[in-house]
Amino acid sequence: MHTPIASPASGDCNGLVRDESQEDFNRHEVFDVYRLDTGGYSHSLYVPRHPKMQLTDFAVRGNLLIALFDRYLVTYKLSARKGE
């Protein structure tokens, strides 16, 4: 078992992976998740962007992704990926 960590993908780079469209990338905040045991890339999480607010900070606590959009705190429940 591994413990993943997430980092926000830079919104100003064109870091599209082969399975994502430009539209999906533009409509979501993208978090890349890496394995702590190997440091290798695991997967990406997509969080819908707010049309008028910017993601300013985030934290992962247990199975929650806590995102701060300007002054609004939003939580997302995370679930394990199949096979992990």
Residue 29 lies in a domain: yes
Residue 69 lies in a domain: yes
- Does residue 70 carry a pLDDT above 60? yes
Residue 25 structural domain: 4-77
Vertex 12: Cα angle to 27 and 63 (nearest 5): 55
Q: Are 31 and 8 within 8 A, CB to CB?
A: yes
- Total number of domains constituting the chain: 1
- 26: part of which helix (H) or strand (E)? helix 22-27
In whole angstroms, what is the distance from residue 10 CA to residue 60 CA? 18
pLDDT at residue 45 in the model: 86
pTM of the model: 0.63
pLDDT at residue 61 in the model: 94
At 20-67, the pLDDT tens digits run 677 877 888 888 889 999 999 988 888 888 888 999 999 999 999 999
- 64: part of which helix (H) or strand (E)? strand 64-69
Residue 56 lies in a domain: yes
Q: What is the mean pLDDT of residues 10-26?
A: 57
- 65: part of which helix (H) or strand (E)? strand 64-69
